[in-house]
């Protein structure tokens, strides 16, 4: 069956002109198959340990960090964001005071997808997460808080600021010490330069069906929403942790109840 999977992936890569890819198959809490395909854009063969930019998969890491802090009694998911970020402002003062941690986690905050993308476009490599959140003072919500789901990068950036305020450390250091190290994700990085020194693939975007190598940049201020670099093998370990109720190799990073809460649908959409 793995030969058939590999053949299928190779055929799809060829048909879609994908330069390189990697996969891992998890079964019964164990990685039963892992393989790299093609090249990394830098002349090297892709392996299952080759780091890729995982983009918005990063949001689940931020959510996991928030849940850890909730279980430690350091925050209340239903408390207003302002309990942890007193200076938090939006264009609507009442909305800013009502927005909770859970709204951010569930993407029911009312932030628009457009504003989330605009934050990426406007990002500066020298900004901090706090800088981005401070710049939200003129942001108008797209819908009433808690009314419905809308995917927006802003949610995870604010959560990142909450993590930093509560822990007194950077989002990157917290994630490294409390998530990546305990899960032994040795080929996962929050710093692009370090990832590049360890074989990070080039970034490609599709233009008229052809992959074109581009400079994706790296913005620490937006790290909680999309700037982690990881391998197929490491992401398989991360997946296994969820499937096994918060444990990998006997090391617990979240309770089974916490994992269940993370995976419970929060809206009807």
CA distances for 87 relative to 3, 135, 210, angstroms: 55, 11, 46
Spatial separation of the C-alpha atoms in residues 163 and 75, rounded to whole Å = 10
Spatial separation of the C-alpha atoms in residues 144 and 197, rounded to whole Å = 45
CA distances for 36 relative to 20, 50, 51, angstroms: 8, 8, 11
Quickly tell me which residue has 């986690």 as its tokens: 105
Q: Can you name the residues that pair with 212 across neighbouring β-strands?
A: 205
Both tokens of 179, joined, read 């998530």
Q: Which of 14, 56, 148, 206 is catalytic?
A: 56
Question: SS3 for 100?
Answer: strand
Question: By the 8 A CB rule, do 105 and 152 touch?
Answer: no
Both tokens of 154, joined, read 């802003």
Helix intervals (H) in the chain:
2-16, 58-71, 93-98, 101-106, 113-122, 129-134, 153-167, 171-175, 192-197, 223-226, 232-243, 256-263
Both tokens of 121, joined, read 């476009």
Q: Can you name the residues that pair with 229 across neighbouring β-strands?
A: 53, 189
Burial of 9 (0-12, 13-18, 19+ CB in 10 A): middle
Does the annotation count 97 as an active-site position?
no
Catalytic residues: 56
């Amino acid at each position: 069956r793995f030969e058939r999977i590999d053949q299928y992936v190779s055929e799809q890569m060829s048909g879609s002109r994908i330069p390189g890819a990697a996969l891992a198959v998890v079964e019964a809490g164990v990685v039963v198959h892992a393989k790299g395909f093609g090249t990394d854009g830098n002349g090297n063969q892709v392996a299952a340990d080759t780091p890729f930019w995982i983009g918005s998969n990063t949001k689940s890491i931020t959510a996991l960090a928030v849940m850890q802090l909730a279980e430690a009694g350091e925050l209340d998911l239903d408390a207003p964001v302002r309990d942890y970020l007193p200076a938090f402002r939006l264009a609507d003062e009442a909305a800013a005071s009502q927005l909770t941690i859970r709204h951010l986690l569930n993407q029911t905050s009312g932030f628009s997808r457009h504003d989330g993308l605009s934050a990426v476009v406007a990002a500066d490599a020298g900004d901090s997460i706090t800088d981005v959140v401070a710049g939200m003072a003129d942001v108008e919500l797209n819908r009433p808080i808690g009314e419905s789901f809308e995917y927006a990068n802003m949610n995870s950036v604010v959560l990142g600021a909450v993590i930093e305020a509560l822990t007194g450390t950077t989002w990157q250091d917290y994630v490294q010490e409390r998530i990546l190290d305990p899960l032994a994700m040795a080929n996962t990085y929050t710093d692009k330069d370090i990832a590049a020194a360890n074989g990070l693939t080039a970034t490609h975007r599709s233009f008229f069906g052809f992959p074109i190598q581009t400079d994706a940049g790296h913005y620490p201020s937006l790290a909680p929403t999309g700037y982690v670099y990881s391998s197929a093998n490491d992401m398989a370990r991360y997946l296994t942790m969820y499937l096994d109720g918060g444990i990998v190799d006997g090391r617990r990073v979240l309770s089974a109840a916490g994992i269940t809460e993370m995976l419970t649908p929060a809206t009807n959409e």
